[in-house]
Structure 1
Amino acid sequence: MRPADLAREHGLSPQAVRNYERDGFLPPAERTSSGYRIYTALHAAALRAFLALVPAYGHALAGLVMTALHADRQDEALTAIDRGHAQLLRDRETLAAVRRAVDHLSTAQEFVEVRETFPGPQSGPQSGLPRGPLSIGELAHRLGLSPATLRTWEAAGILAPPRDRATGHRLYHPGDTRDAELAHLLRRGGYPLAHIASVVQQIRTAGGTARLTEALDGWQHRLTARGRAMLTAAARLDAYLSLSAEPPGGPAC
C-alpha cells in the first residue's frame, strides 16, 4: 500500500502518515528500488491502533505507547496504559465524591434557608449545621485541617470569608463552609489550587450548586466517552500486537 491508501481510511493526508512513521508511531516501511515507501497490513493495523489510542489517552501517551512498542519495550508501553486507566479511576472517584458533596451542600443550604426563614427547634446543635458563622479554628476542626491550610486557600482565591468588624477575625458563613468542603474534596482528588479556585468561583458567581451540577454531568459524559475509547483502543492495539507477532509469511498453518 501507498501512504495515500492508509490515509484514505482515516481522512488523513499522505504526509500525515509519513510523519507518523517518522515519529515512530508506525513501524519503518520498506522502500522500492526507486525509494517509494511500501506499507502493509501491519502498518494499517499500527495506524488504527495509534489513532484509537489518542482519544483514549491523549496524543502524547499514544505516541509513547507506539514508540515503546517499536523499540521492543512492551512492558513500558503497557505500564503507560495502566497509568491511564488508574487516572480514569481516580477521576471517577473524585467525580463521585464531588457529587456527594454537592448533594450534601445543596441540602445543607436549603436547610439553612428554611432555618433562617422559620427559626425553631431544627436550628439546634443536633442538626449537624452551625448555629452561626464559624471561626477559622472551628472550620479547620470540622474539616480536619489546620488553620494555616485555610489561610493558604484564601490566598489562592478559593475562600473569601468576611471579617468581624470589631475583632478582624474571619467569619465563615454557610456559603464559605460549602466552598471549603468542596475545596477539601477536590484537593483530595489531586486538583491544583488554581483549578479549585476556578470551580469555587463559578459556584460563588452562580449563587449555588446548580451550575456545578451541570458541569459534573458534562464531566461524567467525558469520562464515559474516555472509558469507551479505552476499550476500542485496547481492541485495536491487541489486533496490531497479534499481527506483529505473526511470522513474516503470515500465520502458520
Structure 2
Amino acid sequence: MPQKLQREERLRPVDLARAHGLSTQAIRNYEEAGILPAAERSAHGYRRYTPRHARALATFLALLPGHGHRTATGILAAVHRGAPDEAFALIDESHLQLLTDRRTLRSVESALRDLAPERDPAAPPAAPRGRAGTFIGPLADELGVRPATLRAWERAGLLRPRRDPRTGYRVYDESAVRDARLTHQLRRGGYPLEGIAPVIDQLRSAGGREPLAAALRDWHARLRARARALLSGAAALDAYLERYG
C-alpha cells in the first residue's frame, strides 16, 4: 500500500498535461504563475508533481470559464500564497461584474421598450419633420435637454446627424432620433457615454430594434452560462480548499 501511494504521489509534467490536452510547457508556466503549488525537484532537477497539483490544475480549469484567465490565475495564486481573503475578494469582483452586466442588460431592454415604435416599412410614410428629419432645437426640446448635450453625444459618436447642404445645419433622421432617445434613456439610468457607445453600435449593426432582440436573447444566455460557470468554479475551489486549504 505505501508503495502504491508513493507511485500515485509522483506525477510528471506530461501526466498532468495529457490529462487535459495541454503542453508540458503550459504546466511549467502554470506553476510559475502560482496556479499550481511549487513542485519539489528530484536529485536530477526534475519536477515532482503530486495529486494535489492535479487537483489544483482541475480547479483552475473549472474557474476559467466564469472568471477568465487573469482572475482565475489570481485566485489560485492567492490561495497558494496563503492569502485566501485575496482569493475571495477576486471571486466577489467577478460576481459584482456579472450583477453589473445584468443591470446593464435590463436598462438596455427598458430603454428600448420606452422608445417610440419603429415605423413599419410597408406603412405609409409619416409626416416629415421639416423636409427629411428634425433639427437640433426641436429634438433637444423633445428630450428635455440642451442642444449642447446633443452636440456632446455627437462628439462621443452616439449620434450621427447629417448636415443640410444648403445651411450646414444638423438634420436628425429617423435612426438618429432613435439613437438620441436611447442615449437619453440610458443617461437617465446613470450610464456613462463610453458605456452607451457599444449599445448604440450594436443597435446600428443589427439594423434596428427587432434584429437586436436576437442579440439581447444571446446576451441573456451568455449571462446565464457565466453564472453557472461561477457556480461550478466555486464548487471546485471549495473542494480544493477543503482538502488542501
Q: Shorter-chain TM-score: what band?
A: 0.7 to 0.9
The residue type paired with residue 224 of structure 1 is R
Work out which of the residue numbers 199, 203, 212 in structure 1 matches 2:202. 199
2:21 pairs with one of 11, 22, 29: 11
Alignment of 1:60-139 (within 5 A): 60-105=70-115, 108-110=117-119, 116=125, 135-139=138-142
Of the candidates 2, 26, 41, which is equivalent to residue 31 of structure 1?
A: 41
Shift of 1:150: 2.1
Assess, with a 3 A threshold, how the Cα gap between structure 1 residues 209 and 194 changes in structure 2: closer, same or farther: closer
Structure-2 separation of matches of 1:166 and 1:100: 38
- Offset at 1:161? 2.7
Q: Does 1:213 align with 2:223?
A: no
> Over the residues paired in the alignment, what is the CA RMSD in angstroms?
3.0
Gaps of 5+ in 1: 120-131, 246-253
Judged with a 3 Å threshold, the aligned counterparts in structure 2 of structure 1 residues 43 and 185 are, in CA distance, closer, same or farther, namely: farther
CA distance in 2, matches of 1:201, 1:154: 15
- Determine the C-alpha separation between the residues in 2 that align with 1:7 and 1:110: 58
Letter of the structure 1 residue corresponding to residue 72 of structure 2: A
- State the Cα distance separating 1:233 from its structure 2 match: 0.7
Alpha-carbon distance between aligned partners in 2 of 1:70 and 1:186, rounded to the nearest angstrom: 43
Give the match for residue 43 of structure 1.
53
Query: How many percent of aligned residue pairs carry the same amino acid?
Result: 45
Scaled by the length of structure 2, what TM-score is found? 0.77
Q: How many residues align?
A: 225
Structure 2 unaligned blocks of 5 or more: 1-10, 128-133
Shift of 1:19: 1.1
Cα distance in 1 between the residues matched to 2:146 and 2:39 = 60
How far apart in 2 are the matches of 1:84 and 1:56?
8
The one-letter amino acid paired with 1:239 is: A
Residue 178 of structure 2: aligned partner: 178
